[in-house]
Amino acid sequence: MNRDTLNLILAGVLILLIIVGLNYFFYVKKKKQEIARLNNEIAKLDAEIQKAKLFKKRYFEVEKEIALVEAELERLKEKLPKKEDLPNLIRTIAKLAYYSGINFLSLKMGKEKVYPEKNYAVIDMNVEFAATYGQLMVFLHSVDGLDRLLKPHKLNIKEKNVSSNPLLSVKGILQTYRFVESPPSKGKKGGRRRGKKR
Amino acid sequence: MKEKRKLIKINLIAREVKRKKVPSHYLNFLPVLLGVVLGVIIALGMDYVYNSRVNRLKREVEAKRSELKVLSPYVKKLKETEAKLSKLKKMKQIISEIIKEAHVPLKVIQTVEASIPYEVWLREMDLSGKKLKLKGYSLNDEKIADFLENLSKSELIAKVSISYIKKVKVNKIPVKEFSAEVTIK
Protein backbone atom coordinates (compact mmCIF):
# COMPACT_ATOMS: atom_id res chain seq x y z
CA MET A 1 0.00 0.00 0.00
CA ASN A 2 1.53 3.18 -1.08
CA ARG A 3 1.28 6.45 0.64
CA ASP A 4 -1.30 7.90 -1.73
CA THR A 5 -3.66 5.03 -1.13
CA LEU A 6 -3.30 5.43 2.65
CA ASN A 7 -4.03 9.11 2.33
CA LEU A 8 -7.12 8.36 0.31
CA ILE A 9 -8.31 5.83 2.91
CA LEU A 10 -7.72 8.39 5.62
CA ALA A 11 -9.64 10.94 3.59
CA GLY A 12 -12.50 8.44 3.22
CA VAL A 13 -12.57 7.83 6.97
CA LEU A 14 -12.42 11.57 7.60
CA ILE A 15 -15.31 12.20 5.22
CA LEU A 16 -17.32 9.45 6.96
CA LEU A 17 -16.60 11.00 10.33
CA ILE A 18 -17.51 14.45 9.05
CA ILE A 19 -20.84 13.21 7.63
CA VAL A 20 -21.66 11.33 10.85
CA GLY A 21 -20.54 14.29 12.98
CA LEU A 22 -22.52 16.82 11.02
CA ASN A 23 -25.57 14.56 11.20
CA TYR A 24 -25.07 14.28 14.94
CA PHE A 25 -24.77 17.99 15.52
CA PHE A 26 -27.55 19.12 13.21
CA TYR A 27 -30.03 16.29 13.56
CA VAL A 28 -29.36 13.66 16.21
CA LYS A 29 -28.59 16.18 18.95
CA LYS A 30 -31.92 17.92 18.40
CA LYS A 31 -33.70 14.59 18.40
CA LYS A 32 -31.93 13.63 21.63
CA GLN A 33 -33.12 16.88 23.21
CA GLU A 34 -36.62 16.15 21.98
CA ILE A 35 -36.42 12.64 23.45
CA ALA A 36 -35.34 14.09 26.80
CA ARG A 37 -38.19 16.61 26.69
CA LEU A 38 -40.69 13.90 25.81
CA ASN A 39 -39.39 11.64 28.58
CA ASN A 40 -39.78 14.53 31.00
CA GLU A 41 -43.31 15.13 29.79
CA ILE A 42 -44.10 11.43 30.15
CA ALA A 43 -42.76 11.45 33.71
CA LYS A 44 -44.91 14.49 34.53
CA LEU A 45 -47.95 12.94 32.88
CA ASP A 46 -47.31 9.68 34.76
CA ALA A 47 -47.24 11.57 38.05
CA GLU A 48 -50.46 13.38 37.15
CA ILE A 49 -52.10 10.13 36.07
CA GLN A 50 -51.10 8.47 39.33
CA LYS A 51 -52.57 11.39 41.24
CA ALA A 52 -55.74 11.34 39.14
CA LYS A 53 -56.04 7.56 39.67
CA LEU A 54 -55.83 8.11 43.42
CA PHE A 55 -58.52 10.77 43.12
CA LYS A 56 -60.66 8.33 41.15
CA LYS A 57 -60.16 5.60 43.76
CA ARG A 58 -60.95 8.03 46.58
CA TYR A 59 -63.98 9.28 44.64
CA PHE A 60 -65.49 5.78 44.55
CA GLU A 61 -64.64 5.25 48.22
CA VAL A 62 -66.35 8.53 49.11
CA GLU A 63 -69.37 7.55 46.98
CA LYS A 64 -69.65 4.31 48.96
CA GLU A 65 -69.29 6.18 52.22
CA ILE A 66 -71.99 8.64 51.13
CA ALA A 67 -74.34 5.75 50.40
CA LEU A 68 -73.71 4.37 53.90
CA VAL A 69 -74.15 7.72 55.62
CA GLU A 70 -77.30 8.42 53.60
CA ALA A 71 -78.77 5.07 54.60
CA GLU A 72 -77.98 5.77 58.22
CA LEU A 73 -79.42 9.27 57.91
CA GLU A 74 -82.62 7.86 56.46
CA ARG A 75 -82.88 5.61 59.49
CA LEU A 76 -82.28 8.55 61.83
CA LYS A 77 -84.73 10.74 59.93
CA GLU A 78 -87.53 8.43 60.99
CA LYS A 79 -87.18 10.08 64.39
CA LEU A 80 -87.28 13.51 62.76
CA PRO A 81 -90.06 13.55 60.20
CA LYS A 82 -90.13 16.15 57.46
CA LYS A 83 -93.70 17.13 58.16
CA GLU A 84 -94.81 19.01 61.24
CA ASP A 85 -97.89 16.79 61.69
CA LEU A 86 -98.83 18.26 65.07
CA PRO A 87 -102.38 16.84 65.30
CA ASN A 88 -100.98 13.34 65.10
CA LEU A 89 -98.34 14.17 67.70
CA ILE A 90 -100.96 15.54 70.11
CA ARG A 91 -103.01 12.42 69.57
CA THR A 92 -99.97 10.27 70.37
CA ILE A 93 -99.14 12.22 73.54
CA ALA A 94 -102.75 12.04 74.71
CA LYS A 95 -102.73 8.31 74.12
CA LEU A 96 -99.49 7.89 76.05
CA ALA A 97 -100.86 9.97 78.91
CA TYR A 98 -104.03 7.90 78.97
CA TYR A 99 -102.17 4.60 79.09
CA SER A 100 -99.80 5.97 81.75
CA GLY A 101 -102.78 7.06 83.86
CA ILE A 102 -102.02 10.77 83.86
CA ASN A 103 -104.19 13.72 82.98
CA PHE A 104 -102.78 16.79 81.34
CA LEU A 105 -103.67 20.00 83.07
CA SER A 106 -102.32 21.97 80.15
CA LEU A 107 -100.49 21.49 76.90
CA LYS A 108 -99.32 24.58 75.07
CA MET A 109 -97.68 24.44 71.69
CA GLY A 110 -94.88 26.89 71.09
CA LYS A 111 -93.74 28.40 67.82
CA GLU A 112 -91.54 26.36 65.59
CA LYS A 113 -87.93 27.48 65.57
CA VAL A 114 -86.12 26.57 62.37
CA TYR A 115 -82.37 26.04 62.22
CA PRO A 116 -81.70 25.51 58.50
CA GLU A 117 -77.94 25.32 58.93
CA LYS A 118 -78.45 22.46 61.41
CA ASN A 119 -81.14 20.83 59.28
CA TYR A 120 -83.81 20.77 61.93
CA ALA A 121 -86.74 22.67 63.36
CA VAL A 122 -87.85 22.39 66.95
CA ILE A 123 -91.25 22.88 68.51
CA ASP A 124 -91.60 23.38 72.24
CA MET A 125 -94.60 21.99 74.06
CA ASN A 126 -95.25 23.28 77.55
CA VAL A 127 -96.90 20.54 79.56
CA GLU A 128 -98.34 20.42 83.02
CA PHE A 129 -99.76 17.36 84.66
CA ALA A 130 -100.11 15.50 87.92
CA ALA A 131 -98.94 11.94 88.31
CA THR A 132 -97.51 9.50 90.76
CA TYR A 133 -93.88 8.60 90.37
CA GLY A 134 -94.80 5.30 88.78
CA GLN A 135 -97.13 6.94 86.28
CA LEU A 136 -94.50 9.55 85.45
CA MET A 137 -91.89 6.89 84.76
CA VAL A 138 -94.28 4.93 82.54
CA PHE A 139 -95.03 8.11 80.62
CA LEU A 140 -91.36 9.04 80.23
CA HIS A 141 -90.52 5.50 79.12
CA SER A 142 -93.27 5.66 76.51
CA VAL A 143 -92.08 9.06 75.30
CA ASP A 144 -88.54 7.70 75.07
CA GLY A 145 -89.67 4.80 72.94
CA LEU A 146 -91.68 6.83 70.43
CA ASP A 147 -90.86 6.64 66.73
CA ARG A 148 -90.95 10.41 66.52
CA LEU A 149 -88.41 12.16 68.67
CA LEU A 150 -89.93 13.76 71.76
CA LYS A 151 -87.38 15.06 74.17
CA PRO A 152 -88.12 16.16 77.73
CA HIS A 153 -86.15 19.40 77.57
CA LYS A 154 -87.10 20.77 80.96
CA LEU A 155 -88.77 18.97 83.81
CA ASN A 156 -89.82 20.29 87.15
CA ILE A 157 -91.15 17.59 89.42
CA LYS A 158 -92.59 18.63 92.76
CA GLU A 159 -94.17 16.64 95.49
CA LYS A 160 -97.74 17.74 96.07
CA ASN A 161 -98.31 15.90 99.32
CA VAL A 162 -96.29 13.84 101.76
CA SER A 163 -97.27 10.21 101.56
CA SER A 164 -95.82 6.82 100.72
CA ASN A 165 -96.95 7.29 97.11
CA PRO A 166 -97.14 11.05 96.72
CA LEU A 167 -98.78 12.81 93.85
CA LEU A 168 -96.30 14.80 91.82
CA SER A 169 -96.89 18.04 90.06
CA VAL A 170 -94.96 17.97 86.80
CA LYS A 171 -94.24 20.99 84.66
CA GLY A 172 -91.97 20.85 81.71
CA ILE A 173 -91.13 21.43 78.12
CA LEU A 174 -91.25 18.58 75.66
CA GLN A 175 -89.46 19.23 72.41
CA THR A 176 -90.24 17.63 69.11
CA TYR A 177 -88.03 17.93 66.07
CA ARG A 178 -88.57 18.09 62.35
CA PHE A 179 -86.02 17.54 59.62
CA VAL A 180 -85.41 20.56 57.44
CA GLU A 181 -83.59 20.40 54.12
CA SER A 182 -80.71 22.86 54.00
CA PRO A 183 -81.33 25.79 51.67
CA PRO A 184 -79.62 25.56 48.28
CA SER A 185 -76.25 27.28 48.31
CA LYS A 186 -76.14 30.57 46.45
CA GLY A 187 -74.20 30.02 43.28
CA LYS A 188 -73.04 32.51 40.70
CA LYS A 189 -75.07 30.87 38.01
CA GLY A 190 -78.83 31.01 37.90
CA GLY A 191 -79.08 34.05 40.11
CA ARG A 192 -81.07 36.90 38.78
CA ARG A 193 -78.98 39.97 38.34
CA ARG A 194 -80.18 43.01 40.09
CA GLY A 195 -80.18 45.88 37.72
CA LYS A 196 -81.39 49.39 37.88
CA LYS A 197 -85.01 49.75 37.12
CA ARG A 198 -85.59 51.79 34.02
CA MET B 1 -16.13 -7.45 -69.37
CA LYS B 2 -13.63 -7.77 -66.82
CA GLU B 3 -15.02 -8.65 -63.50
CA LYS B 4 -13.90 -6.36 -60.84
CA ARG B 5 -12.91 -8.29 -57.83
CA LYS B 6 -12.39 -7.15 -54.32
CA LEU B 7 -9.53 -8.37 -52.38
CA ILE B 8 -9.86 -9.07 -48.71
CA LYS B 9 -6.82 -8.92 -46.67
CA ILE B 10 -6.62 -11.51 -43.97
CA ASN B 11 -3.95 -11.26 -41.36
CA LEU B 12 -3.36 -14.69 -40.07
CA ILE B 13 -0.67 -13.73 -37.57
CA ALA B 14 -1.94 -14.03 -34.04
CA ARG B 15 -2.06 -10.74 -32.31
CA GLU B 16 -2.66 -9.77 -28.71
CA VAL B 17 -6.00 -8.24 -27.93
CA LYS B 18 -5.42 -5.20 -25.84
CA ARG B 19 -7.92 -4.75 -22.99
CA LYS B 20 -9.16 -1.32 -22.20
CA LYS B 21 -7.64 -0.26 -18.98
CA VAL B 22 -9.82 1.54 -16.33
CA PRO B 23 -8.14 4.78 -15.72
CA SER B 24 -6.26 4.51 -12.45
CA HIS B 25 -7.52 7.90 -11.09
CA TYR B 26 -11.10 6.45 -10.72
CA LEU B 27 -9.89 3.63 -8.52
CA ASN B 28 -7.91 6.06 -6.48
CA PHE B 29 -11.12 7.75 -5.25
CA LEU B 30 -12.80 4.53 -4.15
CA PRO B 31 -11.97 4.90 -0.41
CA VAL B 32 -13.36 8.43 -0.45
CA LEU B 33 -16.50 7.25 -2.22
CA LEU B 34 -16.84 4.44 0.26
CA GLY B 35 -16.44 6.93 3.09
CA VAL B 36 -19.21 9.10 1.65
CA VAL B 37 -21.56 6.16 1.07
CA LEU B 38 -20.89 4.65 4.49
CA GLY B 39 -21.22 8.04 6.16
CA VAL B 40 -24.58 8.63 4.51
CA ILE B 41 -25.78 5.11 5.41
CA ILE B 42 -24.74 5.52 9.07
CA ALA B 43 -26.31 8.99 9.23
CA LEU B 44 -29.56 7.76 7.72
CA GLY B 45 -29.55 4.78 10.09
CA MET B 46 -29.09 7.03 13.10
CA ASP B 47 -31.82 9.36 11.87
CA TYR B 48 -34.14 6.43 11.45
CA VAL B 49 -33.45 5.11 14.95
CA TYR B 50 -33.87 8.49 16.62
CA ASN B 51 -36.89 9.41 14.54
CA SER B 52 -38.69 6.21 15.38
CA ARG B 53 -37.82 6.70 19.04
CA VAL B 54 -39.23 10.24 18.98
CA ASN B 55 -42.38 9.06 17.21
CA ARG B 56 -42.86 6.27 19.74
CA LEU B 57 -42.51 8.74 22.62
CA LYS B 58 -44.90 11.18 20.94
CA ARG B 59 -47.47 8.42 20.64
CA GLU B 60 -46.93 7.55 24.30
CA VAL B 61 -47.41 11.19 25.31
CA GLU B 62 -50.63 11.38 23.32
CA ALA B 63 -51.90 8.18 24.92
CA LYS B 64 -51.08 9.45 28.40
CA ARG B 65 -52.69 12.81 27.69
CA SER B 66 -55.91 11.14 26.61
CA GLU B 67 -55.79 8.90 29.72
CA LEU B 68 -55.36 11.98 31.87
CA LYS B 69 -58.23 13.67 30.08
CA VAL B 70 -60.47 10.76 31.08
CA LEU B 71 -59.25 10.83 34.68
CA SER B 72 -59.12 14.58 35.29
CA PRO B 73 -62.89 15.08 35.87
CA TYR B 74 -62.55 12.91 38.99
CA VAL B 75 -60.55 15.66 40.70
CA LYS B 76 -63.52 18.00 40.51
CA LYS B 77 -65.99 15.20 41.22
CA LEU B 78 -64.03 14.17 44.31
CA LYS B 79 -64.11 17.71 45.70
CA GLU B 80 -67.86 17.82 45.24
CA THR B 81 -68.48 14.39 46.76
CA GLU B 82 -66.19 15.11 49.69
CA ALA B 83 -68.10 18.33 50.36
CA LYS B 84 -71.36 16.36 50.17
CA LEU B 85 -69.98 13.69 52.51
CA SER B 86 -68.82 16.19 55.09
CA LYS B 87 -72.23 17.90 54.95
CA LEU B 88 -74.02 14.57 55.40
CA LYS B 89 -71.71 13.58 58.25
CA LYS B 90 -72.34 16.89 59.97
CA MET B 91 -76.08 16.40 59.50
CA LYS B 92 -75.86 12.87 60.87
CA GLN B 93 -73.82 14.03 63.84
CA ILE B 94 -76.35 16.73 64.71
CA ILE B 95 -79.31 14.35 64.46
CA SER B 96 -77.49 11.60 66.39
CA GLU B 97 -76.63 14.11 69.08
CA ILE B 98 -80.27 15.21 69.40
CA ILE B 99 -81.45 11.61 69.58
CA LYS B 100 -78.78 10.75 72.13
CA GLU B 101 -79.64 13.77 74.26
CA ALA B 102 -83.34 12.90 74.13
CA HIS B 103 -82.67 9.75 76.17
CA VAL B 104 -80.68 11.59 78.83
CA PRO B 105 -83.54 12.93 81.03
CA LEU B 106 -85.04 9.49 81.55
CA LYS B 107 -81.62 8.02 82.28
CA VAL B 108 -80.91 10.81 84.78
CA ILE B 109 -84.19 10.23 86.61
CA GLN B 110 -83.47 6.49 86.68
CA THR B 111 -79.97 7.20 88.03
CA VAL B 112 -81.36 9.45 90.76
CA GLU B 113 -83.94 6.81 91.64
CA ALA B 114 -81.26 4.11 91.82
CA SER B 115 -79.00 6.30 93.98
CA ILE B 116 -81.56 7.19 96.67
CA PRO B 117 -80.82 5.29 99.87
CA TYR B 118 -83.46 4.20 102.30
CA GLU B 119 -84.48 7.07 104.63
CA VAL B 120 -83.98 9.71 101.91
CA TRP B 121 -86.82 11.04 99.82
CA LEU B 122 -87.01 13.78 97.26
CA ARG B 123 -89.38 16.70 97.33
CA GLU B 124 -88.42 18.42 94.14
CA MET B 125 -86.42 17.68 91.03
CA ASP B 126 -85.70 20.35 88.46
CA LEU B 127 -84.04 19.26 85.26
CA SER B 128 -82.99 21.91 82.79
CA GLY B 129 -80.45 21.10 80.13
CA LYS B 130 -77.31 19.84 81.83
CA LYS B 131 -78.31 21.01 85.28
CA LEU B 132 -80.34 19.09 87.81
CA LYS B 133 -81.45 20.59 91.07
CA LEU B 134 -82.61 18.27 93.81
CA LYS B 135 -84.41 19.05 97.04
CA GLY B 136 -85.33 16.46 99.59
CA TYR B 137 -85.32 15.17 103.11
CA SER B 138 -83.38 12.65 105.10
CA LEU B 139 -83.40 11.36 108.59
CA ASN B 140 -79.69 12.02 108.98
CA ASP B 141 -76.70 13.63 107.28
CA GLU B 142 -75.01 10.34 106.60
CA LYS B 143 -77.77 9.20 104.28
CA ILE B 144 -77.55 12.47 102.35
CA ALA B 145 -73.83 11.88 101.92
CA ASP B 146 -74.52 8.33 100.75
CA PHE B 147 -77.03 9.64 98.23
CA LEU B 148 -74.62 12.19 96.79
CA GLU B 149 -71.81 9.64 96.73
CA ASN B 150 -74.00 7.18 94.83
CA LEU B 151 -74.92 9.90 92.36
CA SER B 152 -71.34 10.91 91.71
CA LYS B 153 -70.46 7.29 90.89
CA SER B 154 -72.78 7.35 87.89
CA GLU B 155 -71.25 7.65 84.41
CA LEU B 156 -73.90 10.21 83.50
CA ILE B 157 -73.03 12.62 86.24
CA ALA B 158 -70.14 15.03 85.94
CA LYS B 159 -70.35 16.85 89.24
CA VAL B 160 -72.43 16.81 92.41
CA SER B 161 -72.45 19.65 94.89
CA ILE B 162 -74.51 20.28 97.98
CA SER B 163 -76.15 23.67 98.39
CA TYR B 164 -77.35 23.31 101.98
CA ILE B 165 -78.45 20.91 104.69
CA LYS B 166 -80.70 22.22 107.41
CA LYS B 167 -82.90 20.92 110.20
CA VAL B 168 -86.64 21.15 109.61
CA LYS B 169 -89.77 19.47 110.89
CA VAL B 170 -92.10 17.56 108.62
CA ASN B 171 -95.35 16.46 110.25
CA LYS B 172 -93.65 17.35 113.57
CA ILE B 173 -90.85 14.91 112.84
CA PRO B 174 -87.34 16.45 112.88
CA VAL B 175 -85.59 15.74 109.57
CA LYS B 176 -82.74 17.15 107.50
CA GLU B 177 -83.68 19.12 104.43
CA PHE B 178 -81.08 19.30 101.71
CA SER B 179 -80.56 20.83 98.30
CA ALA B 180 -78.04 19.60 95.77
CA GLU B 181 -76.93 20.61 92.31
CA VAL B 182 -75.92 18.02 89.79
CA THR B 183 -74.12 18.65 86.53
CA ILE B 184 -74.85 16.13 83.80
CA LYS B 185 -72.13 15.04 81.36
User: Chain A: residue nearest B97 by CA?
Assistant: A76
B121 within some domain: yes
The answer to whether residue B10 neighbours chain A at the CB level (below 8 Å) is no
pTM confidence score = 0.69
Name the range with the highest mean pLDDT among A79-83, B25-29, B92-96: B92-96
Q: Which amino acid is at B98?
A: I
Please tell me which of the candidates A41, A63, A154 has its beta carbon nearest to residue B81: A63
Would the CB atoms of A80 and B95 count as touching at under 8 Å? yes
What pLDDT, on the 0 to 100 scale, is given for residue A198? 36
d(CA A155, CA A170) in angstroms, rounded, equals 7
Question: Which residues in chain A are closer than 8 Å to B89, comparing Cβ atoms?
Answer: 69
B163 within some domain: yes
B107 within some domain: yes
Number of structural domains in chain B? 1
Q: How many residues does chain B have?
A: 185
Would the CB atoms of B92 and A73 count as touching at under 8 Å? yes
Residue B139 CB: number of other CB atoms within 10 A?
Answer: 15
Q: Which amino acid is at A117?
A: E
B125 within some domain: yes
User: Chain A: residue nearest B80 by CA?
Assistant: A59
State the smallest CA–CA distance between residue A148 and chain B in angstroms. Answer: 10
The residues spanned by each domain of chain A are 1-77, 86-179
Q: Could you report the per-residue pLDDT of B122-159, keeping only the tens digit for each? A: 989 999 988 999 999 998 899 999 999 999 999 889 99
CATH number for the segment(s) A86-179: 3.30.70.60
What pLDDT, on the 0 to 100 scale, is given for residue A23? 93
The answer, yes or no, to whether residue A153 has pLDDT greater than 70, is yes
Domain span at B109:
102-184
DSSP string across B83-149? HHHHHHHHHHHHHHHHHHHHHHHHHHHHHHHHHPPTTEEEEEEEEETTEEEEEEEESSHHHHHHHHH
Q: Could you report the per-residue pLDDT of B68-104, keeping only the tens digit for each? A: 999 989 988 999 999 999 999 998 998 888 888 888 8
Question: What residues are paired with A124 via a beta bridge?
Answer: A175
User: Chain B: residue nearest A150 by CA?
Assistant: B102
